[in-house]
Amino acid sequence: MDGTDRRIRVLIAKPGMDGHDRGAKVVARALRDAGMEVIYTGLRQTADMIVNAAVQEDVDAIGLSVLSGAHMHYFREVTELLREQGAGDIIVFGGGIIPDQDLPKLKEMGVGQVFTPGASTEDAAAYLREAVRERWTRLGEG
């Protein structure tokens, strides 16, 4: 299948003990409605579980939803594990309750974009279309 009809594959995950997944489900549905293939891993995922699922499912992007305040820990773990597994090219993005002062640190870690409360799902879909198109070009797949 060439890049023109290939669907973007996104894994949406809720790391840690946070039991609130309404936002993650809203984003998953919106991305699916935007024509993307979405895998939702459910609640209480470890970084290992998230990265293993992402590699097995051959996703283009991982979206982490973090409301617990442990976002720095989970984003760091996921980005490091991706690099260790040779999958550092997978786009990592996120959303949740994340203070503005942490955004530059997340960017340095390799997190592509963070959508905080009030962001539109259309913005997330547009971001992913552009970022994945760039990824496919880098990988010679688009």
| DSSP secondary structure letters along 58-79 | T-SEEEEEE-SS-HHHHHHHHH
**Mean per-residue pLDDT over the chain, rounded:** 93
Report if residue 18 sits inside a domain: yes
Please tell me the number of Cα atoms within 13 Å of 45 on its side-chain side: 29
pLDDT, position 77: 97
Report if residue 2 sits inside a domain: no
Give per-residue pLDDT as tens, 24-45.
999 999 999 999 999 999 899 9
Report if residue 73 sits inside a domain: yes
- The number of folded domains in the chain is 1
Report if residue 58 sits inside a domain: yes
The CATH number for 134's domain is: 3.40.50.280
Given a contact cutoff of 8 angstroms between Cβ atoms, the answer to whether 50 and 41 are in contact is yes
Residue span of the structural domain in which 37 resides: 9-139
pLDDT, position 4: 56
Does 3 have pLDDT greater than 50?
no
Report if residue 31 sits inside a domain: yes
Report if residue 119 sits inside a domain: yes
The model's pTM: 0.94
pLDDT, position 17: 86
Distances (CA, A) of 38 to 59, 83, 97, 103: 9, 22, 22, 25
Give per-residue pLDDT as tens, 76-126.
999 999 999 999 999 999 999 899 999 999 999 999 999 988 899 999 999
Distances (CA, A) of 51 to 116, 121, 123: 23, 23, 24
Structure tokens at 3: 């890049």
Does 2 have pLDDT greater than 60?
no
- The percent of residues above 90 in pLDDT, for the chain, comes to 81
Report if residue 66 sits inside a domain: yes
- 107-114, long-range: CB within 8 Å, 24+ apart, which pairs? 109/75, 109/76, 109/79, 110/79, 111/75, 111/79, 112/61
Structure tokens at 132: 């994945």
Report if residue 109 sits inside a domain: yes
